Structure 1
């Protein structure tokens, strides 16, 4: 059962599927980066940004494309190796989201994109605030399947029945003690049924399943999807949630 595997083990298990993760996981649409700029009162162009738990660099790629000077932070060896293949010109440091290996007050923005739920907020928040300059921003990003779409809700119910709660959609609980501004955005991408199933297999709960159980579930899921989408194409819907908190200037906390 997946609940027998510690959270840290499931996080590092992504290394087994790093190439598939880079190939099939969704990136971040421009509206997400627009929201980070607006909510954080900053411009990404020229900003020094650490993308923490960067994985294969999906968010780092988007930030870099907007002109940010990005540093990836990643604890897992497999994901770090894939990051270097995907973004050879973007610096990467091996590090833990709870203990950032970065200088005090050095950054304009720290992002945790689809990685906050792997941290201990009691340690991660002070660490992020330490490396931010006064007025710098901490941004938490989630990119999850949209449960308001009927076929997605049905699929999630089957996943929960097989693997348990919390195995697919992220916990978006925001840490207390900070002043958060947030926005939710809906977007989608057209993919084949096969592509969608390959993406599904990159979630940690599926990675840690034995091969036979994973294959059996995905084949059953293929039949459900083809019932809805007999031509083999579907629109994969997402809700992107952006939450940003700004580190106060010293005079604001005095």
Structure 2
């Protein structure tokens, strides 16, 4: 039986592809983090937890934050070091942060909070934040209200035997993911990117559900998706439309 820990560590096997094909985040997300946290990123001491290959880390660093990346996986941490050799990387996770008490202005979890145990990660966030510091969590979800994305979402859910939602509800992400007892301010940020179909499929192939599934079944699924998308988009490009769900609290 595949455990949550197995799924979390499955990314190490595809770190290079993850770095090459996963989407980044729009500048408006960083603007919203600054607004909701009440401070500029430039000069802020930040820990990006569950940093992966450094997609969010690079953006925070580009805004002038003093970032430390926290990442448990061997492959992901190695890829991050190759891409951002000047950024400190420490090994650990949100359940036991390898950081000093009262060190940070901001802790970020870019699509990684759901790998933590909130009963442990919330007290750890409180411990390492300075007074007035903030905790920022966000998820980058494909927008299933776009026809072709909704169609693909239903096919993939069927492949994994998951129940399809009856309707798209942007609040569902927050209800499912945010820990109780913290006063979060939230924001939705819509954005898109245009990519070749092969890049889109390579991105999907880095999802943890695929990484722990039967490889032959995954190949068949992605081959079917390639055929369907190529027929639908003769130019062999798709516009991936996303909604970033951001939540910021001062624990």
- TM > 0.5: yes
Q: In structure 2, how many angstroms separate the alpha carbons of the residues matched to 1:172 and 1:188?
A: 24
The runs of at least 4 aligned residues of structure 1 exceeding 4 Å deviation read: 169-172
2:177 is paired with a residue whose SS is: coil
Counting matched residue pairs gives 243
Q: CA 1:172–1:83 in structure 2 vs 1: closer, same or farther (change >3 Å)? A: farther
Q: CA 1:119–1:171 in structure 2 vs 1: closer, same or farther (change >3 Å)? A: farther
* Runs of at least 5 residues in structure 2 that lack an aligned partner in the other structure: 165-172
Asked whether 1:86 is paired with 2:80, we answer no
TM-score normalised according to structure 2 size:
0.93
Q: In structure 2, how many angstroms separate the alpha carbons of the residues matched to 1:150 and 1:7?
A: 31
> Residue deviations 1:42-83, cap 9 Å, x none?
110000000000000000000000000000000111111111
> Residue deviations 1:195-231, cap 9 Å, x none?
1001110101111223211111100011121232121
Q: 2:61 aligns with which of 61, 64, 86?
A: 64
Following superposition, the deviation at residue 34 of structure 1 comes to: 0.4
Q: 2:109 aligns with which of 109, 112, 123?
A: 112
> Paired residue for 1:252?
none
Q: In structure 1, how many angstroms separate the alpha carbons of the residues matched to 2:161 and 2:28?
A: 32
Asked whether 1:233 is paired with 2:237, we answer yes
Q: In structure 2, how many angstroms separate the alpha carbons of the residues matched to 1:221 and 1:14?
A: 22
> Paired residue for 2:250?
246
1:231 is paired with a residue whose SS is: coil
1:135 is paired with a residue whose SS is: strand
> Paired residue for 1:206?
210
* Runs of at least 5 residues in structure 1 that lack an aligned partner in the other structure: 248-254
> Paired residue for 1:251?
none
> Paired residue for 2:193?
189
TM-score normalised according to structure 1 size:
0.92
Query: Over aligned residues, Cα RMSD in angstroms?
Result: 1.6
> Residue deviations 1:157-204, cap 9 Å, x none?
11111113389x998521110110000011000101111001110101
Q: 1:74 aligns with which of 68, 71, 87?
A: 71
